[in-house]
Amino acid sequence: MSTPTIPDTCPRCDTHEVSLLTESPVPGRWSMYLCGVCFYSWRSTEPGYATDPATYPAAFKIDPVDIPKMPVVPSIPARRA
């Protein structure tokens, strides 16, 4: 069993902080990767438009400079009794 090749570039933000998040319980089926900058995650079995920075949809690209300026999503309020 070989170690999966970790992509060197995030498809969404084009940074190079990609790490292996997890692997399939069935060895060799798929690997899941995570970007440490924009937190985009993807499986190795997804189509190229979701995994290749060159073909990832421009409308969904994120500039890492803009991340700190993005609004914080509010937490879900507690259930009423």
φ and ψ at 25, to 5 degrees? -65, -20
Give the per-residue pLDDT at 23.
96
- Tokens for 11? 């498809």
Predicted model pTM: 0.82
pLDDT tens track for 24-81: 999 999 999 999 999 999 999 999 999 999 999 999 999 999 999 998 888 888 898 8
From residue 33, alpha-carbon distances to 52, 70, 73, 78 in Å are 13, 23, 23, 32
pLDDT bucket at 1, cuts 50 / 70 / 90:
low
What lies within 8 Å, CB to CB, of 63 at 6+ separation is 13
φ and ψ at 23, to 5 degrees? -130, 160
pLDDT tens track for 10-27: 999 999 999 999 999 999
Give the per-residue pLDDT at 76.
84
Would you list the domain boundaries of the chain? 1-63
